[in-house]
């Protein structure tokens, strides 16, 4: 799927510098960042749900009845 990403001049310069440092493309750097963001958000959500279930186990059990 194609996508247009609009960056400020500063963001584009920073992305280009990172790509040059890592000897890869700007696209690859952006794709990695997106994947890391999505993975981290999913992990945070899962941890929050686990914490809620553990902290509210008694209440959840009563509601289930």
Residue 33: inside a domain: yes
Residue 18: inside a domain: no
Model confidence over 12-51: pLDDT tens digits? 999 999 999 999 999 999 999 999 999 999 999 999 999 9
Structural domains of the chain, count:
1
Residue 61: its pLDDT value, please? 86
Residue 48: inside a domain: yes
Residue 6: inside a domain: no
Residue 62: its pLDDT value, please? 87
Residue 13: inside a domain: no
What does the buried/exposed string (b/e) look like for 18-35 if buried means 16 or more CB atoms within 10 Å of the residue's CB? ebeeeeeebeebbeeeee
pTM score, whole prediction: 0.67
């Amino acid at each position: 799927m194609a996508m247009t990403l609009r960056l400020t001049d500063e963001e584009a310069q920073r992305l280009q510098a990172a790509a040059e440092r890592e000897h890869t493309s700007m696209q690859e750097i952006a794709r990695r960042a997106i994947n890391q963001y999505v993975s981290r958000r999913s992990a945070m959500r899962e941890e929050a749900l686990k914490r809620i279930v553990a902290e509210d186990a008694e209440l959840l059990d009563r509601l289930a009845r």
